[in-house]
Structure 1
Amino acid sequence: MYGGKPSIDWYKDELRRTVENLHNHIFKYKRDEDGQFVFTLSEGKLAREFGLTTDRISGKRLQEVLQLCSEDIMTMYEKAYEGHVLEYESAMGERIFTTTLSPIVEQGRVVEVVGSSTEITERKRMERELQEAEELYRSLVEDTLVGVYIAYVNEHSFVYVNPRMAEMFGYTQEDMMRLGAVDLVVPEEREIVLKNQSRRCKGDRSPIRHQFHGLRSDGSIVHLEVLQKTTSYKGKPAVIGILQDITERKRAEEMVRKSELLSVIGQLAAGVAHEIRNPLTSLKGFLQLMYSQQQEKQQYFHIMVSELNRIEKIISEFLVLAKPQDIAFKERDVVPMLEHIIVLAETHAVMHNVRIVTRYEPDPPSVMCEENQLKQVFLNLLKNAIEAMPNGGEVHVGVRREGDTVVISFRDQGCGIPEDRLARLGEPFYTTKENGTGLGLMVSYRIIHNHGGTISVTSREQQGSTFEVRLPVG
């Protein structure tokens, strides 16, 4: 120590200890009098592991110590001594190392080269696994049979589409990058896309699944289903989506629906024959009486008209079930629809001494539906609830949200439905009403099923019944 300051020897010892404890292999070499490269330093934990410490190899020639190295590597040592900074990788068995060679220049000439070797076996393994994972991911995305896209939440166009998605819409991948989701949807359904985009911009991260009609480059339409979720891409909020062409599936479902419809019509045939035969028999009998008793014919007209009306009602409801369903779903609020049918049913309620009470949750979500069909279901259920109370009472109509479902309920205070009869509700011509046909509820079940929803009923005798329609949120 000199004047309280560390000596040069102390600095040398400190530097030596530091180098010796490095995980690397730190070495130096220079030319000897014969022009051969010899080691002048070799320290670090790797040096000790391989027996290459300074005390063992100092003064030894590189060719002697590195005899297992290739000619290319020896050439690197030559070039480093010419003034070049070089880096190379080498392997010893299954272990991989990276070495950096840096010349030490004094007075314009290289007097020594310092080298540093670091083991990178684990890093190489991770890089290899990452590359394999990337190749697998790329193969899965690029060669998959479903469309895949990425789009930034706050931007219009896509940032990535896979080949399958471009093929679905009849564009090249390059052309697709100039388009946005709204450009690929038929005009009447673009409102749904804009609504979903608005949800994302407001921070909604919940997965979204819906079906839509895609617009191809040639103007043709393809039926698609999309599942999308929020993610992060290159540090920005983005949406990743998967599209599946369900055109063939929809055709198959339509064929199944028609097949089921034919089966239902077959079931109805026997019932229709029976239900129509009885009124016709009555009409026939009364007509025969009119021939024989002209003076009394006026009193039969009321009965004849009543029976004809019953035939007309059966046929009308039958046709609703059987006619083709070429409908377009649109986003609608259920409350205005309910208010509309309540107005229609108000007179019917007054005649039965029934008061209609409504209870709607604030701002209930909208649903994707065919409005007139849902109104038909609501009117049928409300009418049934009114007629279930011959002595009057209250019908409670409610709307609430349960998760991703909107629930519309109709609760009466009638005599209830026996448990053994609940399971048969919706069967053709099965009814709990004296003048019912059973077709109204059957048609309602079919309509709600086609909307992706359900109808459930709970009932207690002498306390009333509750019908609940559950529809997915639009």
Structure 2
Amino acid sequence: MMQRQPGRGFRLSLVTRCAALVGTLLALGVLIAMALDRLLPDRPVLVFIVCLACVVPISIITIRSQIQPILSLFRALQGTVTSYKDGDFSFSLHWPQNDELADLVAAHNELGGVLRNQRLELVQRELLLDTMVQNTPVAMLLVTEGGPIVYANIAARQLLNHGRKLEGNQLSTVLEHASPALREAVGRGGDGLFTVPGQDADGEEVYHLARRSFSLNGRKHELLLLRLLTLELRRQEVQTWKKVIRVISHELNNSLAPLTSLAHSGAELVRRGQPERLPQILATITERTRHLESFILGYARFAKLPTPRVEPHAWPDFVARLADEVPFRLAAELPPEPGHFDAAQLEQALINLLKNAHESGSAADEVELSIRQQQGMVRIEVSDRGQGMNDAVLTNALVPFYSTKRTGTGLGLALAREIAEAHGGRITLNNRDGGGLTVTLILPASPA
């Protein structure tokens, strides 16, 4: 079938070409037979033999001339497909005829163009990623299991090998020349912080080591990330000290200003000979002094929390002593097994939590304490029906010196968190359905 396509001339399909070729060869054979029949009458066998001798070679030559370019195209297609498998997409093909094979070649070339563009985009992304990885301040090492280092960025080379190449070296060999703290951090496994001597004589550098394992090309690899945290920790330390100073200054001013005024008033009363009001002034001075003393002692307890002395304690006796300090309702039966904890520290933490529950606006009879033991852990919950906490307060409630109370120090929850973590546990805060808050201490049921 012949069709005219824009920009490509008439289209002659393979079926039409083959049919025309066969028809031409048949017509040629008929003409030769007719001519031989006139030259050699009454000799049909000879005419047939001579006709075959003429038509068959012509047919073979003609068909071969038509098939040979198609076979060459198929070999070229096979070669380009092999190149595509090898990642080489630079080849394209050309077919001079306007037929179905031309459509196949055009589709093949379009596929090659798409693959080339994808490869180019991939190379550009890899270049961008490599540029970012190489210039990041985080030292990165990719190590095969039991094998050499296969990748290291600039920061890793500067940290571990004075800027020289690390690829191909064993990690153990490289660590022989590193600081003992780094060797210890890598040797103990897992993530963690470690400190190495800084460039200054009295300075130290704090690093965070993160490790991740994964499989790459069927082999197990490990990625080590070493991040310098000294500057960030110093900035956080400065901010923390600024906040501490602001809180202490505010509390001192709130106490010292009235004390100064009361002392002046007392002196004035003595001068006037009116001592009858002195007991009231002295009582106020005593109350403000005790408040200031308790404030300073709160900071001292948080800053000097000793290592907990973990000992077995019966829960009924411990809860009875706790009830003498702050009222609460026991929400569940106590575990029969004794707990292992520092009684003084845990009592201090729970007193702070119970006082917070009473100050939350909750009714006194709705402040509950629950102690349960399950899966090798002790779960201590202090619940109330107060106002609860919004998302912002929940996020910062455990941060030292953070408080939403006008006279709060922000140390109660922070101290409870410090005590829980010193025991090898943790603390969580969750709003309750129907209003209120639940603070949960999760501690090990047995000593480590």
Q: TM-score range by the shorter chain?
A: 0.3 to 0.5
More helix per residue: 2
Instruction: Report the TM-score, using the length of structure 1 for normalisation.
Output: 0.44
More strand per residue: 1
* Higher radius of gyration, 1 or 2: 2
Instruction: Report the TM-score, using the length of structure 2 for normalisation.
Output: 0.46
